[in-house]
Chains A and B, each alone.
Chain A
Amino acid sequence: MALLEARDISKVFTVGEATIAAVQGASLRIEKGEFLSIVGHSGSGKTTLLSILGGILRPTSGQVLFQGQDIYRMDDDGLSEYRARHVGYVFQFASLLPVLTARENLLLPTVFLRGRANAREAEKALRYLEMVGLAEKADAYPYQLSGGQQRRVAIARALMNDPEIILADEPTGDLDEETEQEVMEFFKKVNREMGITFVLVTHSLELASAAHRRFRMTHGRLHEETAVSP
């Protein structure tokens, strides 16, 4: 059984009287431990597809099965629990809550899953911040961090609940080359050493080539391009 499977996913947005088919009949099987990349131009539907996989946008039609269970047949709380327990999401923009410190931002998914985060989770958050090289910034607020540092905190946050899969949407979008390389190395390490499955959405072919399998999204349609060696 695939870890995550998308079956004939379509998503149509209605803007006024116009309809936009953002995703058309996309199907995808993701096995546990895989590192997938989806490339495509801006507006090709990559983010929409990733959001549907992550349970944050309901498809117009089709199914998303996580370990064989259709996530969109779950009620709202069930879907939230799917996101909290199984998925780590890295957004393409700064996504830290401004009123919380870096460490507290990391603790949020735990609060959503368990109601509160105690000292053990706080230590775990510190370990993950250490992994992304920001342990000394644990008590800094987002405005005290650079864009790259904020992105690294968000990546650490995606790991907090030990998810089975991390969905990263242009995670290195506004980072310099050096930081971009560091983030990619970190992703590969996490995938390799922790066995966490990765789906990386990017417009960079170079970054996409780091994946085991590469998909291309064109006008809402998904094609597997090539199998890339890990």
Chain B
Amino acid sequence: MTPFSLFRLSVRNLRRRPLRTAMLATSIALMVALLVFGASFSMSVKATLQRAIDRLGADVLVVPIGARDYAEEVLLETKAKSFYMDKGVLQKVAQVQGVQELTYHVYLTTILAVCCDIPSSKVVAFHQGTDFIVRPWLRQSLGRPLGKDEAILGYEANRNLGLLELESGPAEGGTQLTLFGQRFQVAGVLQKTGTGLDTAIFVTDENLPLFIQKGKSPLKPGEISLIFVRVKPGQDPRKVARRIENAILEVDTIYRNDMGKRVLSTLRDINKVFLLTILLVLALSAFLTWSIFSAIVNERMREVGIMRALGAKNGHVLRAFVLEVLLIGLMGSLLGVLLGTYLSVSFARVFTLLRDVAATLSLAQRAQVALLGLLVGTGLCVLGALSPVLRVRRIEPLLAIKEF
């Protein structure tokens, strides 16, 4: 026979009324699932934004006046937008004090059968000579600069278009596509960067005159979309951004740490709704635990009296009840963590915000959220049951036996 302890008594008591135990565990599970889903949602948006900003590697972005939101939508979200300013701005920005290096992007949107042979996608034309955004990604995935008639697909763009049976790396074979009337050899697929540019197709800016010449894009000669700026070491990027705005009236700037503010502001509102819902469900679960354990303690008061008469200390009785509560809390919380994680993985794409930022959580972050769910679920269960369980301390054994 295996050693007998209070643990077995608690387990048996749990099995006494399986439906009641299941009901309480389910309520805890639902509460934890909501918490895990909410926390995963919030954390993945924040983490993905931060990762994307880090991967872009620029200190300041310079965009046409009024195009801040468009720029964030292109760079951090999956949206395709076109916005342009005069290329002459480049010279002006380069002269601003504190600017170390800069490069630019031109963003175009494809339209199936009008200009291109692929569905609506964003095309990024970059200047290979000065670029410090795409070049490191090219080095990683292609191992060489991109040729003039070549295009390379962002990780998600390849998955969306299904052009290459390739996760990332250089392509073998002759897949071609038409962009703005120009044929391009698909050179390969970039690794996942976690930025909005994962959904883009990259070409060099040498092709822009041809695009304009073929009249298949709204782009005019001498236009660019966005300038990425790196500041000199020791320079405050926020001050440099302000200097650029003061010096060039037709542009807006986005300071690195301000990027994603729009998404984060939406996220804050969503978090408030999550928090309120979670608090209400928490209160409901605590009340349910309290009422179920009040009933359990009343039902078992006579047994408590018998246990006390047999020599159980208050601590033994409390431990037996707390073990029972802990087991229910742990069961419910584990179930809730699994359910919440499943929901956050399966239904995340239903939420535009998550879809747009291509949100993902690392294993360590998922473990953090799971731990939070376990602690809150189990802790709440214990808290809810505490007051009825502590009631058994105040009653004398004989009275417990006789009065209940």
Taking CB atoms and an 8 Å cut-off, the chain B residues in 2-23 that contact chain A are 3-6, 8-9, 12-13, 15-16
Q: Are the C-beta atoms of B307 and A118 separated by less than 8 Å?
A: no
Whether, in the assembled complex, A161 has its beta carbon less than 8 Å from a beta carbon of chain B, the answer is yes
Separation of A98 and B12 alpha carbons in the complex (Å)? 10
Separation of A187 and B182 alpha carbons in the complex (Å)? 106
Q: Are the C-beta atoms of B401 and A91 separated by less than 8 Å?
A: yes
Q: Are the C-beta atoms of A107 and B4 separated by less than 8 Å?
A: yes
Min CB distance B296 to A, Å, is 12
Which one of B8, B303, B316 lies within 8 Å of A112 (CB-CB)?
B316
Question: Which residues on the B side are within 8 Å of A58 (C-beta)?
Answer: 396
Separation of A179 and B229 alpha carbons in the complex (Å)? 98
Closest to B15 in A: A99
Separation of A57 and B397 alpha carbons in the complex (Å)? 7
Whether, in the assembled complex, B268 has its beta carbon less than 8 Å from a beta carbon of chain A, the answer is no
Taking CB atoms and an 8 Å cut-off, the chain B residues in 281-306 that contact chain A are 303, 305-306
Whether, in the assembled complex, B308 has its beta carbon less than 8 Å from a beta carbon of chain A, the answer is yes
Whether, in the assembled complex, A16 has its beta carbon less than 8 Å from a beta carbon of chain B, the answer is no
Min CB distance B126 to A, Å, is 71
Q: Are the C-beta atoms of B4 and A117 separated by less than 8 Å?
A: yes
Question: Which residues on the B side are within 8 Å of A18 (C-beta)?
Answer: none
Whether, in the assembled complex, A97 has its beta carbon less than 8 Å from a beta carbon of chain B, the answer is yes
Whether, in the assembled complex, B313 has its beta carbon less than 8 Å from a beta carbon of chain A, the answer is yes
Question: Which residues on the A side are within 8 Å of B311 (C-beta)?
Answer: 80-81, 83-85, 87, 109, 112-113, 161
Of the four ranges (under 10, 10 to 19, 20 to 34, 35 or more), the interface on chain A belongs to 35 or more
Whether, in the assembled complex, B383 has its beta carbon less than 8 Å from a beta carbon of chain A, the answer is no
Whether, in the assembled complex, B273 has its beta carbon less than 8 Å from a beta carbon of chain A, the answer is no
Q: Are the C-beta atoms of B3 and A89 separated by less than 8 Å?
A: no
When A111-B4, A112-B307 are in contact, do A56 and B313 touch as well, CB less than 8 Å?
no
Q: Are the C-beta atoms of A116 and B397 separated by less than 8 Å?
A: no
Whether, in the assembled complex, A77 has its beta carbon less than 8 Å from a beta carbon of chain B, the answer is yes
Closest to A86 in B: B311
Closest to A160 in B: B310
Separation of A113 and B312 alpha carbons in the complex (Å)? 8
Q: Are the C-beta atoms of B313 and A112 separated by less than 8 Å?
A: yes
**Majority SS at the chain A contact face:** helix
Question: Which residues on the A side are within 8 Å of B5 (C-beta)?
Answer: 111, 115-117
Whether, in the assembled complex, B390 has its beta carbon less than 8 Å from a beta carbon of chain A, the answer is no
Closest to A123 in B: B1
Which one of B8, B315, B396 lies within 8 Å of A104 (CB-CB)?
B8
Q: Are the C-beta atoms of A80 and B1 separated by less than 8 Å?
A: no
When A81-B311, A112-B312 are in contact, do A56 and B3 touch as well, CB less than 8 Å?
no
Min CB distance B371 to A, Å, is 30
Min CB distance A200 to B, Å, is 17
Whether, in the assembled complex, B309 has its beta carbon less than 8 Å from a beta carbon of chain A, the answer is yes
Whether, in the assembled complex, A216 has its beta carbon less than 8 Å from a beta carbon of chain B, the answer is no
Whether, in the assembled complex, A20 has its beta carbon less than 8 Å from a beta carbon of chain B, the answer is no
Separation of A119 and B396 alpha carbons in the complex (Å)? 32
Separation of A224 and B385 alpha carbons in the complex (Å)? 49
Interface string of A33-55 (1 = CB under 8 A from B): 00000000000000010010010
Taking CB atoms and an 8 Å cut-off, the chain A residues in 105-163 that contact chain B are 107-109, 111-113, 115-119, 121-122, 157, 161
Can you spell out 13 A-B residue pairs with CB atoms less than 8 angstroms apart?
Answer: A56-B397, A76-B313, A76-B314, A77-B315, A80-B314, A97-B9, A97-B306, A99-B9, A99-B13, A108-B312, A118-B3, A121-B4, A157-B310
Please name the 3 residue pairs, one residue from A and one from B, whose CB atoms are nearest each other, closest first.
A84-B311, A99-B12, A56-B397
